[in-house]
Amino acid sequence: MGGGAAYENDLNFKATELRLGLPGTGCTNEEQAVSGAKNNKRPLLETREERGSKGKSDPQHDDQETDPAPKARIVGWPPIRSYRKNSLQPKKAEAEAAAGMYVKVSMDGAPYLRKIDLKVYKGYPELLKALENMFKLTIGEYSEREGYKGSEYAPTYEDKEGDWMLVGDVPWDMFLTSCKKLRIMKGSEARGLGCGV
Amino acid sequence: MNYFPDEVLEHIFDFVTSQRDRNSVSQVCKPWYKIESSSRPKVFVGNCYAISPQRVIERFPGLKSITLKGKPHFADFNLVPHDWGGFVYPWIEAFARKSVGLEELKLKRMIISDECLELISRSFPNFKSLVLVSCDGFTTDGLAAIASNCRFLRELDLQENDVEDHRGHWLSCFPDTCTSLVSLNFACLKGEVNLAALERLIARSPNLRSLRLNHAVPLDVLQSILIRAPHLVDLGVGSYVNDPDSETYNKLVMAIRNCMSVKSLSGFLEVAPPCLSAFHLICPNLTSLNLSYAPGIHGTELIKLIRHCRKLQRLWILDCIGDGGLEVVASTCKDLQEIRVFPSDPYIGNAAVTEAGLVALSSGCPKLHSILYFCQQMTNAALITVAKNCPNFTRFRLCILDPTKPDAETNQPFDEGFGAIVHSCKGLRRLSMAGLLTDQVFLYIGMHAKQLEMLSIAFAGNTDKGMQYLLNGCKKLRKLEIRDCPFGNAALLMDVGKYETMRSLWMSSCEVTLEACKSLAKKMPRLNVEIINENDQMDVSADDRQKVEKMFLYRTLAGRRKDAPEFVWTL
């Protein structure tokens, strides 16, 4: 599903640069000479929530050595409604999906969530190992009949229909396309999933 | 006029519908004021803080329909903190208490809570129409209350709101006895809806003429909906992804064949472009087409569609249509009156349209009078040509993605180009400018833009003179919003009385100081001068010479507002 603007790579810094100045120059003095007008522009503002709302903050473009002009994005620019900006984001999400598949991971009792890239793992064993490392716990052995026995934790995920499923029941590829977020259940809630199924 | 009994005058006034005309009528003499005020059914309040709800109810006891606007326009672009204000609850509470027979409510940029929606649904037995544009603060639970309790609901129109979605039960809340729906728009809802409830609702709504679905309504449901609602005039397609060879697609083609009354088409929130050809059948009837939320459609598919739309009057589209596509629009849509070209990727800045597309539209579409155009580059020559081709513009909004970019050919500022626009378009009411601009353009605007009511400026001008030309020359100016311009105290204080003739003034990242704002507030008690200071705590002992980051002032009869959050300081 393509769109108007092509994506060569996600973080095309040069192209996203917004600066005060004539095209091809980085120097405001030149601009003044050409336009014959005094330029009293204020320095650009740093962005704030605008970036945060996209859920992924873009790094500052400090590593460009050639250009002295400020490269911060301008708050509230271009002037289109957030609602509209958000509706265009699916294209960005597509690009992100191609690059990696980040899902949130919550664990009962933990104060904050984590995020992992599912694409990095080749199958369930690797994923479970990573989860065990991340949260410093043991998840136990998977069995179709009893779920995860040998531990008080059970890894679950929310699928596209909003239902909470036990990790491991469906083929790995199907899991990748349907998993929206992960939750490591603990205690009695976890045991409920494995019993008598 | 004293010879006529009041009832006759009232009957005559019934034919006067525009708010402006009714305002004029009410100023003729005291008896006319009384009669007009007591019989006015529709009230428009452009700034909810300009007047108190009590005063509105006192003056217009017969009010049945009200439109309220809250946050300043720049709130659309994240320049206003989310909880700045614009709460509608006090209005609804006052209407409920005074038993106003409210039937229609239209809100723009306001905050409305679920409690408020519930209060509306219980307090006004004849409530018929709810239109919410760019509002937030509510969830689908509030919609459930409206659905459940408003027995005569005709219109539920949600446009671009930020709604917290608690999943689709609200649709099931319309009782079986509800058969009065004429217009239902839930395109902005992000969550799932109960599809079976939706189909049943549509099946029992014979008067339904406008239906806009959200992304959760798939192709097969669309097809069955169209079969049940062949008299639709306005359709917003939801999710439109399917294999063109499938049986469902063929059924859809048959269903569309039945819907020849559709004049307005929008949506396509997810789309597989090959399926668009199903709609080619109704394209010849379309007067309005909005594909600006369909980022997946290639220019070539858009062009194929447009070629069938000879009767189009209004077109909202993404810039992936390209200059070439706009040329097709220009040669096909001879009745075009309004066009909006949005950027398909605002951050990369590779807008696919340039001055060529704009010029093509201006030469091909003689009835064009309203335009919003996001582009990569522009030239003065193009603007001058456009001004010559289209002297009838009433709304002209141009945005170059790089805000201070000069003329792409000459590297000059756009003073001459926009000067030509305001000189030629004598009926221009709304203008928004882009690119490199000096004080000169404001001189032109002050000289020629005599009908201008709303002006938006960003990154333009050199000195206070720019703003002074504007305030001096534009006699009908009502809303002025300025960001990142070097206008300061001399301009702000030049003509303080002017602000009472305007609805509001917004200035952010300019050169205005606290001292000047205080002085202005002191001189003009009927203005609220608000300083919005998100980051720091309100420092009352702050140095008056410091620059003010964001100032919003508006005329008001209601005095200082009581619901201002901590970071808003009314001087």
Tell me: the pLDDT tens digits for B304-351? Answer: 999 999 999 999 999 989 999 999 999 999 999 999 999 987 665 566
Q: What is the mean pLDDT of residues B377-386?
A: 96
Q: Pairing relation of β-strands B314-318 and B288-290? A: parallel
Q: According to the model, what pLDDT value does residue B479 have?
A: 97
State whether A78 and B318 contact (CB < 8 Å).
no
Residue B9 has pLDDT above 80, yes or no: yes
More confident residue, B7 or A92: B7
Q: State which residue of chain A sits closest to B535, comparing Cα positions.
A: A48
**Whole-number average pLDDT of chain B:** 92
Residue B543 pLDDT > 50, yes or no?
A: yes
Residue of A nearest to B534 (CA): A48
pLDDT at B289: 97
Q: B326 by DSSP, 3-state: which?
A: helix
Question: Best interface-test mutation with A: which of B266, B509, B510, B513 has the largest number of A CBs within 10 A?
Answer: B509
> If you measure CA to CA, which chain B residue comes closest to A38?
B462
State how far the Cα of B482 lies from the Cα of B505, in Å rounded to an integer.
8
Average pLDDT over residues B274-278: 80
- Cα gap B53→B89, rounded to integer Å: 10
CA distance B44 to B18: 10
The answer, yes or no, to whether residue B91 has pLDDT greater than 60, is: yes
Q: What residue has token string 């994240």?
A: B78
Tens digits of residue pLDDT in B125-184: 999 999 999 999 999 999 999 999 999 999 999 999 999 888 758 999 999 999 999 999
Does an H or E element contain B569, and which? strand B568-570
Q: Using omega within 30 degrees of 0 as the cis cutoff, is the peptide bond preceding A78 cis?
A: yes
CB within 8 Å of chain A, chain B residues 326-355: 342-350, 352
SS (H, E, C) B402-449: CCCCCCCCCCCCCHHHHHHHHHHCCCCCEEECCCCCCHHHHHHHHHHC
Report d(CA A11, CA A95) in Å as an integer: 10
Chain B partners within 8 Å of A88 (Cβ): 295, 344-346
Would you say residue B89 has pLDDT above 80? yes
Contact residues on chain B for A91, CB-CB shorter than 8 A: 295, 344-345
Among residues B315, B358, B319, B363, the alpha carbon closest in space to that of B336 is found at B315
Token pair belonging to A157: 């995920």
CA distance B433 to B411: 17
What torsion, rounded to 10 degrees, do the Cα atoms B478, B483, B485, B487 define? 50
Query: 């202005």: which residue's tokens?
Result: B520
What's the one-letter identity of residue B9? L
Closest to B149 (Cα-Cα) out of B109, B177, B189: B177
Q: What pLDDT is stored for residue A41 in this prediction?
A: 43
Specify the pLDDT at position B144.
95
Low-confidence ranges of chain A (pLDDT < 50): 1-10, 23-72, 91, 194-197
The shortest CB-CB distance from B349 to any of A15, A81, A90 is to A15
Best A8, A45, A56, A87 residue to mutate vs chain B (most B CBs within 10 Å) = A87
Q: Phi, psi at residue B556, to the nearest 5°? A: -160, 150
- Radius of gyration from C-alpha coordinates of chain A: 24
pLDDT of residue B387: 97
CB-based contact B483 A38, cutoff 8 Å: no
Stretch B410-422: mean pLDDT: 96
Of B322, B345, B463, the CB nearest to A91: B345
In degrees and rounded to multiples of 5, residue B506 shows phi and psi of -115, 130
Interface test with B, best of A88, A96, A160, A161 (most B CBs within 10 A): A88
- Cβ neighbours around A95 below 10 Å, total: 13
Residues of chain B above pLDDT 70, percent: 96
Please identify among residues 66-95 of chain B the ones whose CB lies closer than 8 Å to any CB of chain A. Answer: 74, 76-79
The residue with greater pLDDT, B266 or B218, is B266
B227: region left, alpha or beta (phi > 0 left; psi from -120 to 50 alpha): alpha
Alpha-carbon Rg for chain B in angstroms: 25
Q: What percent helix, strand, coil does chain B show, rounded to 5?
A: 35, 20, 45
Interface confidence (ipTM) of the complex = 0.85
Q: Which of A149-163, B37-51, B441-455, B504-518 has the lowest mean pLDDT?
A: A149-163
Q: What is the secondary structure of B104-126 as a DSSP string? A: EEEEES-B--HHHHHHHHHH-TT
* A41/B405 touch (CB, cutoff 8 Å), yes or no: no
Q: Which residues of B touch A79 (CB under 8 A)?
A: 76-77, 399, 432, 456, 458
* CA atoms of B157 and A188, how far apart (whole Å): 46
B436: how many CB neighbours lie within 10 A of its CB?
26
Predicted local distance difference test score (pLDDT) of residue B438: 96
pLDDT of residue A100: 66
Contacts of B269 (CB under 8 A, 6+ apart): A87, B187, B214, B215, B237, B238, B239, B240, B293, B294
User: What is the structure's pLDDT at A15?
Assistant: 53
Instruction: Supply the pLDDT for residue A18.
Output: 58
Residue A1 pLDDT: 40
Min Cα separation B347/chain A (Å): 6
Phi, psi of B372 (to 5 degrees): -130, 120
**Of B276 and B274, which is predicted with more confidence?**
B276
Whether B122 shows a pLDDT value over 80: the answer reads: yes
Full DSSP string of B343-392: -S-TTTT--S--HHHHHHHHHH-TT--EEEEEES---HHHHHHHHHH-TT
pLDDT at B292: 92
Closest CA to B495 of B477, B518, B520, B476: B520
Which candidate in A16, A35, A84, A159 is best for mutational testing of the B interface (most B CBs within 10 A)?
A35
Residue B184 belongs to what H/E stretch?
A: strand B183-185
Residues paired with residue B129 on neighbouring β-strands, in sequence order: B104, B155
**Residue in B272, B349, B404 closest to A16 by CB:** B349
- The Cα of B229 is separated from the nearest Cα of chain A by a number of Å equal to 28
| B positions 146-205 inside 8 Å of A (CB) | 160-162, 167, 188, 192
User: What pLDDT score was predicted for residue A190?
Assistant: 62
Question: How far is it, in rounded angstroms, from Cα B155 to Cα B181?
Answer: 6
Beta bridge partners of A155: A184
Minimal C-alpha gap between B511 and chain A (Å): 9
Place of tokens 């069938």: B308
Nearest by CB to residue B160, choosing from A3, A49, A81, is: A81
* CB-CB under 8 Å, A77 with B296: no
d(CA B39, CA B60): 7
CB A78 within 8 A of CB B343: yes
Given an 8 Å threshold on Cβ–Cβ distance, is A4 in contact with B299? yes
Helix (H, G, I), strand (E, B) or coil at A157: strand
Q: Fill in the DSSP letter of residue B394.
A: S
What band does B534 get if pLDDT is binned at 50, 70 and 90?
confident
Q: Does B456 touch chain A (CB under 8 A)?
A: yes
B487-512: per-residue pLDDT in tens? 999 999 999 999 999 999 999 999 99
Both tokens assigned to B99? 């038993």
Contact check, Cβ <8 Å, B345/A4: yes
More confident residue, B86 or B352: B86
Taking the model in full, what pTM does it have?
0.77
Q: What percent of chain B has pLDDT over 90?
A: 75
Query: Is B295's CB within 8 Å of A88's CB?
Result: yes
User: Which tokens is B205 given?
Assistant: 């709504």
Q: Are B317 and B342 in contact (CB under 8 A)?
A: yes
* Residue B413 contacts A, CB cutoff 8 Å: yes
Chain A hits for B109, CB-CB cut-off 8 Å, are: none
Q: What is the pLDDT of residue B566?
A: 82
Rounded Cα gap, residues A74 and A63, in angstroms: 19
Q: Does A88 touch chain B (CB under 8 A)?
A: yes
Which of B458, B510, B507, B459 has its CA nearest to residue B479?
B507
Matching residue, tokens 């909810």: B48
B6-14 vs B30-39: helix crossing angle, rounded to 10? 60
d(C-alpha B152, C-alpha B177), whole Å: 10
State how far the Cα of B335 lies from the Cα of B391, in Å rounded to an integer. Answer: 16
**Confidence at residue A32, expressed as pLDDT on a 0 to 100 scale:** 36
